[in-house]
Every structure is written in C-alpha cells, then in structure tokens.
Amino acid sequence: MDWITIISTTIKAAVGVETVLYAIGAIGLNVHFGYTGLLNFGQAAFMGVAGYGLAVTVTVMGLPFWVGIFVGLVAAVILAILLGIPTLKLRADYLAIVTIAAAEIVRLIFRSVQFKSVFGGSDGQRGFSDGFYALNPYPEGEYGFNLGPVPLLFGHRTMWVLTVGWILIALFSFVVYLLMKSPWGRVLKAIREDEDAVRSLGKSVFSYKMQALVLGGVIGCFGGFIYGLGYASVQPDVFGTETTFYMYTMLILGGAARVLGPVLGSMIFWVLLVLFYNVMTEAVGAGLITFLDTNQVGAMRWILVGLGLILLLIFRPQGILGDKREIAIDARR
Amino acid sequence: MEGHNPALTYFEGAPLRRAVIAFTAFLGGLIFLLAGPAHAGPAECQGLRGTLKLQGQPVNGAKIAVTTEGGQPVKEVTTNAEGTWDVQVDKPGKYKVTLDVSSLPQNAEVRGGNNVRTPTVYEGNCSTVLYALQAKGAANQQQQEGGESSPFWTQAAQLTFEGLNLGLIIALAALGLSLIYGTTGLTNFAHGELVTLGAILAYAFNIGFGLHLIPAAVIAVIVAGILGYLQDRLFWGQLRRRGTGTIAMMIISIGVALFLRYVFLIFFGGQTEAFAQYTAQPGIEIGPISAAPKNFVAMGIELVVLIVVGFALLRTRTGKAARAVADNPALAASSGINVDRVIRIIWTFGGAIAALAGIMLGLSQNLKYTMGQDILLLIFAGVTLGGLGTAFGALVGSLVVGLFIQVSTLWVPPELKSVGALAVLIIVLLVRPQGILGRRERIG
C-alpha cells in the first residue's frame, strides 16, 4: 500500500478545494440554521444559481468575469427572497420541505434538455474561469513543501483558488463573528430560541428571518463560485440535495452556532472521508479486502456519513465546538 | 404546533446505546438478506422505440434509420414480428428518425405522408416515435373516423390514466408518512428509502430465491411491516423516549436515508433492474387508454388497499385511536389511549404500505436504489398539499400531484414535469398553507 500518497492526499484534503467550498457553504448554512434556526435544505441551490450565474454570463453571453460574479450574487439574493416569501411565515418543517423542493426545481431546470442551449444539460458548462486565472499572481509551478518523505504540493492554479477561498473563509467568519455579537445578531438568536417572544417585543420576525436567509444565501453562493472556478466547470448534479445534507453533517460535526464550527467541521469531514476512501481503495487494490470493490468503497463513505450524522445528533448534537443549550435542534414546535 | 409532543407521555429510561446497536444489527440482517440476488444486466432505457401497425396487424421488416440532429448515423433497425423497434442512445438530445417507405408492405403508406420524425430523448427515458400507417387510398375514410376524438383528448385521457396510476402509488407512501408525522411529529426523510426497501425486498425474493413475483411481493410487504415495527421499537421510539426534538429527529432521518440509500447501492448496485415476471406485457386498449394489464391490476390493488386502510381509520378502534393520536397525542393519552402502541401499529402499517408502493413503482417503472429518493419529494408534495398529518388529505393531495405531473406533460416537456408539481406545492403553501384538507390553525 502506498502510504506516502495516502498521507499526502489526506493532509492536503484539510485545506483542499472541496474543504473550502463546503466550508463556505456551511458558513452560510450556519447563519440560517445555527443562528436563526431556519431549516434551509436548499443551500445547494444557492451555490448552484451562483455557479451557473457566473458560467452562463461568461460562456453564453460572453460578458467579463466580474459581471458573472455580480449576476451570480444577484441570482442568490433573488432565490433567497423567492424562497423566503412563501415559507418564512410557516413552521420549520414547511420551510424544510419547500427549500428542498426549490433546490430540486433549480437542479432539474439546469439539467433539462429544454434549456440545454443555456445551461448545457447534464454536462453543465465549462470554459468560464479564464478571467479568474488571468488574475493569478502565482507563476507557473508547484507550491508547498515536503514533510519528510511526504510531498505536500499544489499546482499554481489550485494555489490561487485556495488563496482566494481561505481569504473568503476568514472574511466571512469575521463578518459572522461581528454580526452575531451585534444587536442584530442577538435578535436572530432570540428568534431561534423563541419567535413569539421576539414578536411580542415589536421586532419584525419575518424581516429579520429574510435578512438572515439572504445573508446566508449570499455567503453560501461563494461556495458555488469556488466550485465553478476550482473545477473550471459546473454540472447540475453537483448541486443536488445530498450536497446540502453533507453541509449539515459538517456544520453539526464542527458545532452549529459557532463561528468556526463549519470550517472545522468541513476540514475534519474531508480529512476523514479522504483518509477512509484512500485506505480502503488501496486495501482493495492490494487484495487485502476482497468483499468490496472500489465502487462499493465509494458507497461505504456515504454510509459512514449517514451513520455519523445519526450518531452525532443522538450523542453530541452540539458537535465539537458547540454549546448544547445554544442549538436549534431541540426546539419542539 | 405544541400538540405534537408525544414525548410527554414517556418517561426517561432504556439507554439509547442499545437502541443504536440494535438498529445497526437490524440493518446488518437486512444487508445479509439483500446479499443474495445476483445482478442481471442493466435494463435502463434511454432511446427511441415504436410499434408499426397496419390496420391492427404488426408490420414486420420495416427499416428505420436513426441519426443525430446533425445527420450522424446512430443505428438502423428493422421492426420485428410484433412490429416493434428499439434504438438505445448514449446521449440525450434531439434525434432524426426516418422510416424507409419502400420497406413497408406494398399496400401501406404513412398517414400524412411525412416519414421523418425529430423526437427528443430525455435522460433515462425512452421516447415513443409514432408512425400511423394506413392502407393506400384510405386517407379520406381515416380522416372521418378520426374526427370524433382528436389526438389531444386521446392523449389527455391516457395521461390522466397514468397520472392516477402514479398518484395511487404516491398515495400509498404518503399515507404512512402523513400518519407517522401526525402521531410522532417526525418529518421522515427516510420514507423514500422505505419505498425502495419494499421494491428491493421483493426483488430479492423474486430473483434471489426464485419465487414468483406475487408471493415474493406478499412476503416483502410482511417483512417490511416487521421492519417498520422494529424501526420504531428499537430506534425512533427510543429517541422519542429520550426526548429528542422533532428537528433533531428530522435531521437524524436524513442520516438514516443516506445510510440506507448507500447500503442499497452496495448490495443492489447502481444499475436498474426489473422483476422476473410481468416486465414486458403487451398493452391492451380500453377506449382511448392503452396500458399493460399489470397496470390495471396494480391500480386495483392500490385502490383496495387504500380503501381498506381508509375504512380501518374511520371504523376500527385502532383506526380511531390513530386519528385521535394524530390530532392531539397528549389528549389522546389522557383519555386512555395507549399512544405508544398506536404509534407502533402505524409504523408497522406505514412500512408495509410504503413497501407496497415500492413494489408497484418497480412494476410500472424499474427498480433502482434511488427510486424512493426520486419520488420522496412527490410524496412530500402530496402530503403537504393535502395537509400535513391528515390521513385523507394525503390521499387527495397525492392523487392531485400524480394527475398534475402526468397531465402537465401535455404542455411541459416530460423531464420538467416534476418541476411543475413542486412549483404548485410552493404556490399552494402561499395561498392555503394548511393544505386542502388541513384544519386552519396557527402554523406560523
């Protein structure tokens, strides 16, 4: 078994592109679910409309990169408002069902043959990231260092995505930290704890929830940009409901309603998953495990995710960093 | 809604660790059970097909050429003794189908004279290409006959039928989901996997153990009922007793759904399969509707089951108790109803009829490990449309959803039919959030 590769990919997974984009999505989700108690099961759709907004603006309409980013952001805001109007006045489980339905609608439209000329069908869109890589300050080459015999190197393109990604994570974490310390953030937390009490104090619960939904959606949509730029393509099925569920797993693993919870959660999630997958595939390849094939190993990781989510919520719903008194999941309405 | 709090009636106890171990063991057993069936070849359908008939008789040996939109040849086929042809394609998109007129029988011609069709193939779907053939010189006569029922209404009738078929399947699954929601407050995202479970169990007994589909289905439904009972006894019941909140349980159900889905993937594989019997039945025509006989039988069974369950809910002691618990668990408990027992009965029957829904779905479409996940949102749409927690609302809502989805394909491309149904769900929530049969109450 090739332990050097296993160790190298596992350590790189702690800061890799997937970790970054899921962490950003989960930070947005933290604003929804962790702080405001909104059960948004459609976070993947926010990432989707942003990624596609960028891709379609650049490839189909031929406009510059920055216009694409702007279109993606506007799309995320519009989606948040469209989702919020019918559902924010309803009970939590209605919001869950409607957001998951809306995310499916978005995905089905993206992958439809009908709109293939715009969204590219199930193949998605590619070739829109040149504007981003033109800004790359890193000259061509490999960056990183060798940890003993283990090489930890990223290409210059990945380096640029990661740099931008981690700056965004730091920025969003700081914004969330400041906002949640502010009076505005305290109202959000109060809504999570007892909506009626907040209403009785004369606050417009609907408007606060809407602001939280838009903010979390806009933060999350940067995860979609990072996906599109990091992989230089967007495909509809990447933005399916399972993506949202993985973000929930990360958020709860790291600790909901904690500034760094989603970031830590995403890092641990991907490190564990990559480690497990690599060790198992290597073991299957080396003939040490004969009762599974490599495809089944792929399925095994998601079984572990499901099991992890169940066990976390039962035994440690506050995750690693969280405070049990401060999470929305024990709300009984 | 403060009423949904059956945990009031429980007391602390029974360490949950045991429950989790038991649940895992139950899944382990399930895995063992599923390990049997061997994989047959993929039966996925993505392409074009059709049947050529002249005055009711199949046309054998007619040549059909399929090319891409740009004219690249894909395949040339000839119709078989039943008059059918079938071309599978790799990529969805527009195709050009040309019927070689010279290969038709001497006395036949294509009605309207146009022998080229440009159908669209949608991902994972087979499109039927229609060629209406007629005896030469019969054009005038045909036109007079066809005047009575236009193709639009024939198609509408056909789609209504298919919509009812789908709606009944959704209703079976939705009934269990709605009752479970009503009695325990659990929005069960793993209900779709219970549907898949039924289909896969039936497949395991059907293919793995070589039973005929009918006994296999009966056993699968019974096993699924037992598993439903155990699931509540060993897992969800323990969580409720522990006082786990409904939102936590909802997220746990997502974990359960992911877990089960990929367990199915490991043991069933990623391909689509079909049952051993009743797969390729020749269609029969009743009025404007043509369908395989199995669909009529399946709808009959579904209807009977739904009526029996509805009757049981209205007339039997347990049924009344179930509705009472769904309405207000605390009040039901204080009037002497054993809430725990009622919930277990509901889980048992909910699991069993969800399994039945899966088998019927597998019969009318195909089996896949994501089949339950794929209709989960439609089940939710049906339940929400009818009113969360109301049993009969789930029935009405599901039928509406099923009908809407199929009939909407008159105007909407088939790949987007679910989009319409989900959009209607959102709109209904705007106008009448309590659903069609739901009671007006504060749901904000």
* Minimum distance, in Å, between the CA of residue B444 and any CA atom of chain A: 4
Arithmetic mean of pLDDT, B63-69? 79
Which 8-state DSSP code applies to residue B59?
P
Residue B64 dihedral angles phi and psi, to the nearest 5°: -130, 130
CB spacing of A101 vs B248 below 8 angstroms? no
Interval B348-367: pLDDT, tens: 999 999 999 999 999 888 89
Q: Which two tokens stand for residue A135?
A: 């800004």
A147-174 confidence digits (pLDDT tens) = 888 888 899 999 999 999 999 999 999 9
Residue A201 domain-assigned (yes or no): yes
- Please tell me the distance from the alpha carbon of residue B8 to that of residue B112, in angstroms, as a whole number: 71
Average pLDDT over residues A297-305: 90
Taking the CB of residue A131, how many other CB atoms lie within 10 A of it?
A: 17
- Of B240 and B142, the structure prediction assigns the larger pLDDT to B240
B426: confidence class by pLDDT, cuts 50, 70, 90: confident
Residue A196: closest C-alpha in chain B: B444
* Domain count across chain A: 1
Interface test with B, best of A33, A81, A90, A93 (most B CBs within 10 A): A93
Our CA angle for A51, A53, A57, nearest 5°, is 120
Q: Give strand pairing partners of B58.
A: B53
Strand B47-51 with B84-88, pairing: antiparallel
Residue A210, in any domain of the structure: yes
Other Cβ atoms less than 10 A from the Cβ of A169: the count is: 22
From chain B, pick out residues whose CB is under 8 angstroms from the CB of A95. none
Handedness of CA B188, B193, B198, B199 (dihedral sign): positive
| Per-chain mean pLDDT for chain B | 79
Instruction: Report the distance separating Cα A54 and Cα A50, nearest Å.
Output: 6
B134 close to B112: Cβ distance less than 8 angstroms: no
Residue B388's DSSP bridge partners are: none
From chain B residues 365-384, the ones with a CB under 8 A of any chain A CB are 377, 380-381, 384
Q: How many CB atoms lie within 10 A of CB A244?
A: 26
Look up residue B8 and give its DSSP letter.
G
| Packing angle, helices A65-87 and A43-59, rounded to 10 | 150
Residue B418 contacts A where some CB pair is shorter than 8 Å: yes
Query: Which range, of A84-88, B132-136, B368-372, B399-403, averages the lowest pLDDT?
Result: B132-136
| CA-to-CA dists, residue B194 to B172, B174, B289, angstroms | 12, 11, 31
Is the pLDDT confidence value at B297 over 50?
Answer: yes
Q: Which of A18-27, A241-250, B109-118 has the lowest mean pLDDT?
A: B109-118
Q: Mean pLDDT across the stretch B413-430?
A: 83
The answer to whether domain B47-148 has CATH 3.30.70.260 is no
Q: What is the pLDDT of residue A330?
A: 56
Residue B20 has pLDDT above 60, yes or no: no
Q: CA-to-CA distance for B390 and B326, rounded, in angstroms? A: 8
Residues in chain B: 444
Q: Which residue has the higher pLDDT, B68 or A206?
A: A206
SS (HEC) of B346-376: HHHHHHHHHHHHHHHHHHHCCECCCHHHHHH
**Residue among B93, B266, B419 whose CB faces A105 most closely:** B419
The average pLDDT across A280-289 equals 86
CA A50, CA A76: separation in Å to the nearest integer? 6
d(CA A210, CA A202): 16
Residue A272 included in any domain: no
Alpha helix (H) residue ranges in B387-416: 391-407
Structural contact between residues A195 and A88, judged by C-beta atoms closer than 8 angstroms: no
User: Residue B269 has what pLDDT?
Assistant: 86
Cα-based distances in Å from A171 to A105, B5, B113, B315: 31, 41, 67, 62
Q: Residue A213 CA to chain centroid, in angstroms?
A: 15
Dihedral sign computed on CA atoms, order A261, A264, A269, A272: negative
* Mean model confidence pLDDT for chain A: 90
Question: Looking at this protein, which amino acid is placed at residue B322?
Answer: A
pLDDT, tens only, B245-288: 888 899 999 999 999 999 999 988 888 888 888 877 777 777 77
Strands (E), B1-56: 47-51, 53-54
User: Quick one: pLDDT at residue B256?
Assistant: 95
* Residue B183, min C-alpha distance to chain A (Å): 14
A271 found inside a domain = no
Unique residue bearing structure tokens 């789908």: B166
Q: What is the pLDDT of residue B430?
A: 75
The whole-angstrom separation of Cα A17 and Cα A238 is: 14
At B291, the pLDDT band (50, 70, 90 cuts) reads confident
What residues does B50 pair with on adjacent strands? B85
Phi, psi for A142 (deg, rounded to 5): -105, 140
The angle at the Cα of B12, spanning B9 to B13, to the nearest 5 degrees, equals 125
Q: Which of A185-189, B18-22, B152-156 has the lowest mean pLDDT?
A: B18-22
Please report, for chain B, how many H helices and E strands are present, in that order. Answer: 14, 14
d(CA B25, CA A231): 40
Mean pLDDT, residues A39-56 taken together: 94
Residue type, A258: R
**Per-residue confidence (pLDDT) for residue B439, from 0 to 100:** 64
Return the pLDDT at A95.
84
Residue A255 C-beta-side C-alpha neighbours within 13 Å: 12
Check residue A135 and report its DSSP letter: T
Using an 8 Å Cβ cutoff, are A25 and A245 in contact? Answer: no
Average pLDDT over residues A256-274: 94
Q: Is the pLDDT of residue B7 over 70?
A: no
Q: What is the pLDDT of residues A100-118, one digit of tens each?
A: 999 999 999 998 988 888 8
pLDDT for residue B343 is more than 60: yes
Asked if the model's pLDDT at residue A120 lies above 70, the reply is yes
**Looking at residue B42, what is its pLDDT?**
36
Q: Where are the domains of chain B?
A: 6-35+157-431, 47-148
Distance from CA of B273 to the nearest CA of A (A): 18
- DSSP one-letter string for A278-306: HHHHHHHHTTS--S--HHHHHHHHHHHHH
In a domain, A48, yes or no: yes
Do B379 and B398 contact (CB within 8 A), yes or no? yes
Q: Is B242 helix (H, G, I), strand (E, B) or coil?
A: coil
Identify the band that residue B13 occupies on the pLDDT scale cut at 50, 70 and 90. very low
- Mean pLDDT within A32-45: 93
Residue B108: strand pairing partners:
B135
- The whole domain housing A207 covers 14-241+325-330
Selected for mutation to probe chain B from A39, A87, A89, A97 (highest B CB count within 10 Å) is A97
The pLDDT value given to residue B25: 55
The pLDDT of residue A270 is above 90: yes
Report pLDDT digits (tens) over B73-108: 777 787 777 677 788 877 777 787 878 777 777 777
Please tell me chain B's helix, strand, coil percentages from 3-state DSSP, rounded to the nearest 5.
60, 10, 30
Measured CA to CA, the distance from residue A118 to residue A116 in angstroms comes to 5
| pLDDT at residue A12 in the model | 92
Question: Is B124's pLDDT higher than 50?
Answer: yes
Residue A39 with chain B: CB contacts under 8 Å: 247, 250
| Residue B40's pLDDT band (cuts 50, 70, 90) | very low
Whole-number pLDDT of residue A54: 95
pLDDT at B59 over 90: no
Q: Which range, of A82-86, B142-146, B272-276, B401-405, averages the lowest pLDDT?
A: B142-146
Alpha helices, DSSP H only, in B80-184?
Answer: 139-146, 151-184
- For the segment B418-431, the average pLDDT, to the nearest whole number, is 82
Angle at B187 between CA B186 and CA B193, to 5 degrees: 110
CATH of B6-35+157-431, one of 1.10.287, 1.10.3470, 3.30.750, 1.10.30: 1.10.3470
Query: What pLDDT, on a 0 to 100 scale, did the predictor assign at position B23?
Result: 52
Q: Beta strands of chain A (E only): which ranges? A: 125-126, 142-147, 150-155, 233-234
Residue A311 lies in a domain: no
Decide if pLDDT at A32 tops 70: yes
Residue A287 Ramachandran class (φ > 0 left, ψ -120 to 50 alpha, else beta): left
Query: Per the domain annotation, does A266 fall within a domain?
Result: no
Q: Do A248 and B251 touch (CB under 8 A)?
A: yes
Helix (H, G, I), strand (E, B) or coil at B64: strand
Beta strand pairing call for B47-51 and B126-128: parallel
Which letter does DSSP use for residue B383 in this model? H
**Residues in chain A closer than 8 A to B122 (CB atoms):** 113
In terms of CA atoms, which chain A residue is nearest residue B3? A333
**CB A314 to CB B252 under 8 A?**
yes
What is the residue whose two structure tokens read 């987007």? Answer: B416
Q: What are residue B117's DSSP bridge partners?
A: B97
CB burial of residue B56 (10 Å; 0-12, 13-18, 19+): exposed
Q: What is the pLDDT of residue B36?
A: 38
Query: Which stretch of A13-17, A178-182, B226-230, B389-393 has the lowest confidence by average pLDDT?
Result: B389-393
Nearest Cα of chain B lies from the Cα of A299 at a distance, in angstroms, of 5
Measured distance CA(B29)–CA(A229) in Å, rounded:
45
- The whole-number pLDDT of residue A328 equals 60
- CB-CB under 8 Å, A90 with B433: yes
- Whether the per-residue pLDDT at B152 is higher than 70: the answer is yes
Q: Widest CA span of chain B, in angstroms?
A: 84
Say yes or no for a CB contact (<8 Å) between A306 and B120: no
Q: How far is A127 from chain B (nearest CA, A)?
A: 21
In-domain check, residue A174: yes
| pLDDT tops 50 at residue B4 | no
Q: Answer yes or no: is pLDDT of B149 > 60.
A: no
Check residue B142 and give its pLDDT.
Answer: 41
Higher-confidence residue: B18 or B152?
Answer: B152
Q: Which two tokens stand for residue A262?
A: 């989603």
Work out the average pLDDT over B200-208: 93
- CB contacts of B121 in chain A (<8 Å) are 113
